[in-house]
Amino acid sequence: MAFEVKVPTVGESITEVTIGRWNKKDGEFVDVNELICEIESDKATFELNAEKSGILKLNAKEGDTVAIGTVICSIEEGAGSAAAKPAANAAPAAAPAATPAAPAPAASNAAPVEVKIPTVGESITEVTLGAWSVKSGDAVKAGDLLLEIESDKATFELHAETTGTIEILSKSGDTVAIGTVVCKIVPGAGGASQAAAPASAPAATAAASSGGANYAGGHASPAAGKILNEKGVDASAVAGSGKDGRITKEDALKASAAPAAAAKPAAAASTAAPAAKASAAGRADDRVKMTSLRKTIARRLVAVKNETAMLTTFNEVDMKPVMDMRSKYKDTFKEKYGIGLGFMSFFTKAVCMALQEFPAVNAYIDGDEIVYHNFCDVSVAVSTPKGLVVPVIRNAETMSFNEIEAEIVRLATRARDGKLSIDEMSGGTFTITNGGIFGSMLSTPIINSPQSAILGMHNIVERPVAVGGQVVIRPIMYLALSYDHRIIDGRESVGFLVRVKQLLEDPSRLLLGV
């Protein structure tokens, strides 16, 4: 009897996925819960495991885009289990005979296992290869880290599926399509090499002294390599703080260009011509391929600009009341809840109250219909080393100040670690972005589609303002609300922003709900 394996639901509003790497071939036997393949949704890769044991029959190819619920393979339950048992019974008998003889020759007859780029997100067709942790000819074990790949929103690790000797087919920094074979592993050969390692300890020690024992050490990620090239710093002169000594972007940013600078005076002392060449070289252009994340951001921003009637309205907020309340209670708040009291919780609460009073700002257009949300899922823009991501605070209107602060910290931490899931980044109804942390005074943020509005916060600057007929110095923040004029009228956009201003300038309203 054939058991059908269908594409599961992987996220809100996602109707199709891309088939990534098949871990089993057509006609192979699979066990229950064994990984069959990887499927790519909007912002993450998901694993599909076998629910039955049997012989696998594939109905879709790697790279195919299929709808949710599509049957992509089937499992013949009877034949597979019967065929597997003789092989399992034969293994113990063969083991004694194989023990005296070296296992390497038998393993060398095995077909190489192709390691392909898995699907890492819906509509993503290519990724950038990061730093390889191994070199061609190295022995690897099943589960060993091979390399990192950069996808739409995060960096993913690619691990060895089997033990053997690796043959690398693509270089770090290459941009390759989903499903591309980037390396091959000859099963068994790696195990023989590792078994012989203790006998050749002196040779291994010598290799270690020359840098051969740690292949990640001294290797820079694509981003780090670009920065080092711009600075003129040799990667060998930089100490890596990443896994196994890998040079990270942060290491490259901290690296000093002193070695390169020291070499130039010596060259200049010999003749003036090299100095002129060095000057010319300093004006050279570097061409670096856009990462998958940057291309996706560019495509979506242009789409929003072209497909919405986006306008921006501005207002200013006197932040003194919020700052006074925060200063008064921040120590008590931290002591009680174990988390700091920031400005984002005030803005999130104010936005939720305003959204409930102006529902059009919390809606979106779906075809010829307007969908109004009866809840507030507030997206918070977070800048990460890989680019901008927008995780979502679910049901923010029901949360307290400490719950909002804790959720913001949790999401921001996962975002910077590249560990956000698709559910944590999808389904927001309204977005808040804080350019003020970078010193921005005023900006016009772009709507986070399919939402209809986004609130931009900016830096707080002391300015002279008139209060009660007198000029006083107050901490002022400019607020910007960008909105889709197709669904939100001027009265609603201005009214929403004024309401947020009122709530922030009298934060007791947030507690009383008035």
Q: How far apart are CA 158 and CA 267, in angstroms?
A: 43
Active site residue 489: yes
Residue 191 · residue 107 · CB < 8 Å: yes
> How far lies 366's CA from each of 13, 293, 306, 397, 487, in Å?
12, 26, 17, 24, 11
Helix (H, G, I), strand (E, B) or coil at 319: coil
Q: Check 219, 244, 485, 506 and give the catalytic one.
A: 485
Q: How far apart are CA 490 and CA 496, in angstroms?
A: 10
Q: Check 152, 484, 489, 506 and give the catalytic one.
A: 489
Nearest Cα neighbor of 504 from 454, 470, 463, 460 is 460
Taken as a whole, the chain contains a residue count of: 514
Residues of 398-433 as b/e, b for ≥16 C-beta within 10 angstroms?
ebebbbbbbbbeebbebbeebebebbbbbebbbbbb
> How far lies 317's CA from each of 129, 463, 509, in Å?
46, 11, 15
Residue 120 · residue 152 · CB < 8 Å: yes
H-type alpha helices, 99-200: 104-108, 189-196
Q: How many CB atoms lie within 10 A of CB 87?
A: 9
Query: Which tokens go with 328?
Result: 């008064």
Q: How far apart are CA 37 and CA 60, in angstroms?
A: 11
Q: Which residues, 6+ apart, have CB-to-CB distance to 350 below 8 Å?
A: 499, 500, 503, 504, 510
Q: How far apart are CA 459 and CA 462, in angstroms?
A: 10
Q: Supply φ then ψ for residue 511, to 5 degrees.
A: -80, -35
SS3 readout for 393-459:
ECCHHHCCHHHHHHHHHHHHHHHHCCCCCHHHHCCCCEEEEEHHHHCCCCCCCCCCCCCCEEEEECC
Report the run of H or E that residue 484 belongs to, with start and end.
strand 470-484
Active site residue 458: no
Provide the Cα torsion 191, 192, 198, 202; round to 10°: -120
Q: Which residues, 6+ apart, have CB-to-CB distance to 330 below 8 Å?
A: 340, 341
Nearest Cα neighbor of 38 from 135, 172, 179 is 179
Q: How far apart are CA 71 and CA 13, in angstroms?
A: 20
Any idea which residues carry the catalytic annotation? 485, 489
